[in-house]
Amino acid sequence: MSPQDAWRPRRIGLYVHIPFCVQRCDFCAYKITAGTDLRDEMTAFVEMLKQEIRSVGRLANVGSVELSVLFIGGGTPSMLPIELMEQLLECVTGQFRLAPDCEFTVECNPSTTTKEKLRQLRALGVNRLSIGVQSFDDHILTEIGRDHSSADARATFVNVRDEGFTNFNLDLMYRLPAQTRERLLQSVRSAVACGPTHLSLYPLWVRPGTRLHHRLQHGEVSIPDEASEFDMWRAAAELLAASGYRQYNVFDFTLNDESRSRYTFLQWEDGEWIGVGPSAISYVAGRHLTNAMSVREWSERVTRFGVGTTGGAAVSRRAQMHRTMIFGLRMMPFETARFETQYGVPVDDVFGRELQLLKDLRLIERNDHQIRLTAAGVQRINNISKFFYEQEDALQTLGIGRTGLPIEESDL
Ligand SMILES: C[S@@+](CC[C@H](N)C(=O)[O-])C[C@H]1O[C@@H](n2cnc3c(N)ncnc32)[C@H](O)[C@@H]1O
Ligand code: SF4
């Protein structure tokens, strides 16, 4: 560390969770409240959030930190009335210093992102948007219960650019009902035409309790099988590469290095972040803290204790190493020197057996400096992560020979 670095404030991230949406999509299992008239709920919720942000600000010794990342996610934060967003930001900046280059992202969806809203968000200093589209196929959008059309999505991106945003992400999904390889490629072409600097491509995770899960179980709808899913992903990744998007993370593609999500990097670099709002998690000073999941329990806790945290634990060195593997293997590539610099031991001294197994299963490939997931590894990333949590039955957790629905994602 240079003498100048020693005087620099610690850079951390702040994640603010907004659990409201206009309507619930059929695949979505997030804990959200859906409705078109939620103004009162949102106003009361933001009051609570402000209370939690102020408490966290007091506890976190914020004099010595600055925010390099501010991420307002959900849910659908773009549906917050602008005056509530303003209040929220005022509260954040009242507690925390924002680094001059702070990446300030708001998650949006096309139905709640008007031209006026975009202008207002930009005036507040938002410099990155993350917009959920999922597909540009109107039939599929209806099948998955989205509240917008492909034309709405296209119009949103015209407005995003007109309003001067130069850094924005677009979320797409594959493995969706009625989706074929060609239909997915059409969506990827439409997405590229919208000019995002970053694109996330997620496989559909079928979660119990969702409408889609119910419909699948009752044979009312079907999704592509594992072989087609693999084929779809590979074709989409190739098309993105040919369009200039480089994959740097298991789900993420970027047009240039500057547009890689800092939030993703914060996690990989073992950076600290504070999460506020229901279900948010924090990782600060070597401790992992979790907030209550439901708005009700979270609000009760904020009222009583100032924060919505239900528990926390110090992360042991061994657990931290596992964490590094879980986030690291998602990065493409995983630079092995980073592990050694951080822990003072080569990664193979600690995880040599596990990495050899992943290599034998052709889920990773590697050279002396880098490890990279193969296409099959990308498909099984959730199970690979689980493997670094619970290693008792590696073959089963890696889903070897599995068919049918994938093992549930653990929201890492
Ligand atoms: C929390 S949402 C925020 C964006 C906004 N609410 C929207 O949906 O437009 C972030 C992204 O998570 C992804 N997502 C949500 N549920 C998913 C699931 N069951 N399987 C795969 N991706 C999912 C979607 O791509 C979505 O855009
Ligand atoms: S996918 Fe996004 S818009 Fe749909 S219910 Fe989930 S959080 Fe809300």
β-strands 10-18, 272-276: how paired? parallel
Minimal-distance CA residue to ligand 2 atom 6:
28
In percent, the amount of the chain with pLDDT more than 70 equals 92
pLDDT of residue 409: 36
Ligand 1, pocket-test mutation among 28, 135, 250, most atoms within 8 A of CB: 28
Q: How much is the pLDDT for 64?
A: 78
The residue contributing the CA closest to ligand 1 atom 11 is 132
Identify the sign of the CA torsion 398, 314, 277, 117: negative
Tokens of 143: 């099948």
Of residues 380 and 49, which shows the higher confidence score? 49
Q: What value does the mean pLDDT take over residues 348-373?
A: 93
Q: Report the pLDDT value the prediction gives residue 387, as an integer from 0 to 100.
A: 82
For residue 4, what pLDDT is reported?
A: 54
| Any ligand 1 atom below 6 A from CB of 28 | yes
Ligand 1 centre from 359 Cα, in Å? 31
- Residues for the chain: how many in total? 412
Topology adopted by domain 318-402? Arc Repressor Mutant, subunit A (1.10.10)
State the ligand closest to the CA atom of 144: 2
Which of 18, 20, 22, 28, when mutated, tests ligand 2's pocket best, judged by the most ligand atoms within 8 Å of its CB?
Answer: 28
In sequence order, the 6+-apart residues with CB closer than 8 A to the CB of 39 are 81
Cβ of residue 57 lying under 6 Å from some atom of ligand 2: no
Average the pLDDT over 403-407 and give the result: 30
**φ, ψ of residue 324 in degrees (nearest 5):** -60, -40
pLDDT score at 241: 98
Q: What is the rounded average pLDDT of the residues 356-382?
A: 92
What spacing in Å lies between the alpha carbon of 356 and ligand 2's midpoint? 38
Cβ of 74 below 6 Å from ligand 2: yes
- pLDDT of 348 reads 95
User: pLDDT class for 319, splitting at 50, 70, 90?
Assistant: confident
Closest residue CA from atom 5 of ligand 2: 24
Place of tokens 């034309």: 151
Q: Which of 202, 323, 322 is nearest to 266 (CA)?
A: 323
According to the model, what pLDDT value does residue 407 have? 32
| pLDDT for res 9 | 63
Pocket test residue of 25, 78, 80 for ligand 2, highest count of atoms within 8 A of CB: 25
**Quick one: pLDDT band at residue 269, thresholds 50, 70, 90?**
confident
Does ligand 1 come within 6 angstroms of the Cβ of 387? no
- Report the atom number in ligand 1 closest to the C-alpha of 205: 20
Q: Ligand 2 centroid vs 390 CA: distance in angstroms?
A: 30
Predicted pLDDT at 8: 60
In testing the pocket of ligand 1, which one of 140, 173, 408 has its CB within 8 Å of the most ligand atoms? 173
Tell me the pLDDT tens digit for each residue of 187-241.
999 999 999 999 999 999 999 999 999 999 999 999 999 889 989 999 999 999 9
Q: Give the model's confidence band at 397: pLDDT under 50 very low, under 70 low, under 90 confident, else very high.
A: very low
Instruction: Tell me what the pLDDT averaged over the chain comes to.
Output: 90
Helices 347-360 and 336-343 pack at an angle, to 10 degrees, of 150
Tell me the average pLDDT across 262-276: 85
* pLDDT exceeds cutoff 50 at 402: no
Is the CATH code 3.80.30.20 the one for domain 10-266? yes
Ligand 1 centroid to residue 47 C-alpha, Å: 26
Q: Say whether pLDDT at 75 is over 90.
A: yes
Give which of 100, 85, 95, 169 is closest to 129, Cα–Cα. Answer: 169
Mean pLDDT calculated for residue range 384-402: 56
Q: What is the pLDDT of residues 122-181, one digit of tens each?
A: 999 999 999 999 999 999 999 999 999 999 999 999 999 999 999 999 999 999 999 999
Residue 30 exposure: Cα atoms within 13 Å on the Cβ side: 20
Report the alpha-carbon distance of residue 267 to residue 325 in Å, rounded.
Answer: 11
Mean pLDDT, residues 33-52? 97
Does residue 264's CB lie within 6 angstroms of at least one atom of ligand 1?
no
Three-state DSSP string of the chain: CCHHHHHCCEEEEEEEEECEECCCCCCCCCCCEECCCCHHHHHHHHHHHHHHHHHHHHHCCHHHEEEEEEEEEECCHHHCCHHHHHHHHHHHHHHCEEEEEEEEEEEECHHHCCHHHHHHHHHCCCCEEEEEEECCCHHHHHHCCCCCCHHHHHHHHHHHHHCCCCCEEEEEEECCCCCCHHHHHHHHHHHHHCCCCEEEEEECCCCCCCHHHHHHHCCCCCCCCHHHHHHHHHHHHHHHHHCCCEECECCEEECCHHHCCHHHHHHHCCCEEEEECCCCEEEECCEEEEECCCHHHHHHHHHHHCCCEEEEEECCHHHHHHHHHHHHCCECCEEHHHHHHHHCCCHHHHHHHHHHHHHHCCCEEECCCEEEECHHHHHCHHHHHHHCCCCCCHHHHCCCCCCCCCCCCCCC
Query: pLDDT tens for residues 88-136?
Result: 999 999 999 999 999 999 999 999 999 999 999 999 999 999 999 999 9
- Find the ligand nearest to 223 CA: 1
pLDDT score for 390: 56
- Does ligand 2 have an atom closer than 6 angstroms to the CB of 32? yes
Q: How far apart are the first and last CA of the chain?
A: 30
What residue spans define the domains of the chain? 10-266, 318-402
Per the DSSP assignment, residues forming a β-bridge with 47 are: none
**What would the mean pLDDT of 285-299 be, rounded to a whole number?**
93
What's the pLDDT at 285?
82
Q: Which residue has the tokens 């929220």?
A: 88
Q: How many percent of the chain have pLDDT more than 90? A: 76
CA of 28 to the centre of ligand 1 (A): 7
Mean pLDDT of the region 72-77: 96
User: How far is the centre of ligand 2, averaged over its atoms, from the C-alpha of 176 (Å)?
Assistant: 15
Residue bearing the CA closest to ligand 2, atom 7: 75
The pLDDT value given to residue 5: 55
Tokens linked to 32 = 């959200």
Alpha carbon distance 408, 189 (integer Å): 29
